[in-house]
Amino acid sequence: MKEFAGKVAVVTGGSLGIGRAVVRRLAEDGAAVVFCGIDEDGVRATEAELCDAGLDVTGVVADVTDAGQMRALVRRAVDAHGGLDTVVTCAGIQRYGTVEDTAEELWDEVLDVNLKGVFLVCKAAVPELRRRGGGTIVTVSSVQAFASQDRVAAYTASKSAINGLTRAMALDHAADGIRANVVCPGSVDTPMLRWAADLFRGDTSQDDQVAEWGRAHPLGRVARAEEVAEVVAFLAGPRSSFITGAEHRVDGGLLARNPAALPEV
* Residues with Cβ within 8 Å of residue 133, at least 6 apart in sequence: 177
CA distances from 254 to 2, 10, 47, 94 (A): 33, 30, 34, 19
* From 4, 35, 119, 155, the catalytic residue: 155
DSSP code, position 136? E
Report the distance separating Cα 189 and Cα 45, nearest Å: 19
Q: How many residues does the chain have?
A: 265
Is residue 96 among the annotated active site residues? no
Q: How far is CA 174 from CA 78, 86, 130, 234, in A?
A: 22, 14, 10, 18
Nearest one of 146, 170, 207, 29 to 21, comparing CA atoms: 29
Q: Provide the pairing of β-strand 178-185 with 247-250.
A: parallel
Decide if 193 contacts 143 (C-beta within 8 A): no
Active site residues: 155
